[in-house]
Amino acid sequence: MSNRTLAIIKPDGVRKNVVGKIIAQITEAGFTVKGMKLMRMSKESAQAFYEVHKERPFYGELVDFMISGPVVPIALEKENAVADFRKLIGATDPAQAESGTIRKLYAGSKAENAVHGSDSDENAALEISHFFSRNELL
Ligand code: ATP
Ligand code: MG
């Protein structure tokens, strides 16, 4: 799975109606969509997805934000997918993100930052299976 990563267009990105623009930027950067859906996360699913941040002060706020509206999880494929996707989205805080990155273009704040990207090959595999069953993936 080292050529795969999980993206999520977060609720703020869906609310701003920039799902199409974000997907276009992702595919223009050379990623192929292997799975995609528009859905609402349950509280339990969001808590489990961000389990690693359970002890962080922003955990409750993060979970509430992720269930505040629909999200678009996308399984992506490209050589060097994890690192290349994190470069494409930019820093967690849009104020620190390089110009032209998805977060610089569409994120409003560190908390509401438009997109998620997996941070390792191991997490990419776990995160893809969090959202997609095998028959939902190409
Ligand atoms: P993501 O995991 O969503 O791709 P990231 O890897 O850049 O983002 P993490 O450190 O994993 O950043 O934080 C996960 C998410 O938690 C961030 O994307 C953001 O939505 C939220 N977050 C991180 N730091 C803060 C903070 N200080 N205050 C509020 N929310 C935060
Ligand atoms: Mg992260």
pLDDT digits (tens, 9 = 90+) for 59-84: 999 999 999 999 999 999 999 999 99
In the block, tokens 């678009």 appear at: 72
Q: What is the pLDDT, as a whole number, of residue 35?
A: 98
Please give the number of the atom of ligand 1 that sits closest to the Cα of 91: 7
User: Ligand 2 centroid to 86 CA: how many Å?
Assistant: 10
Distance set, CA 123 to CA 3, 16, 70, 74, 97 (Å): 12, 28, 22, 14, 22
Ligand number, closest to the Cα atom of 89: 1
Cα 85 from Cα 70, distance rounded (Å): 22
- The average pLDDT across 6-30 equals 98
Mutate to test the pocket of ligand 1, among 5, 62, 63, 82 (most ligand atoms within 8 A of CB): 62
User: Ligand 2 centroid to 101 CA: how many Å?
Assistant: 16
The torsion defined by the Cα of 52, 57, 11 and 118, in degrees rounded to 10, comes to: -30
Choosing from 4, 10, 103, 116, which is the catalytic residue? 116
Fold of 4-136: Alpha-Beta Plaits (3.30.70)
Instruction: Please write the tens of the pLDDT for every residue from 80-138.
Output: 999 999 999 999 999 999 999 999 999 999 999 999 999 999 999 999 999 999 999 99
Q: Is 117 in the pocket of ligand 1 (CB under 6 A)?
A: yes
Q: What is the pLDDT, as a whole number, of residue 2?
A: 74
Is 116 a catalytic site residue?
yes
Q: What is the pLDDT, as a whole number, of residue 1?
A: 46
pTM to 2 decimal places = 0.97
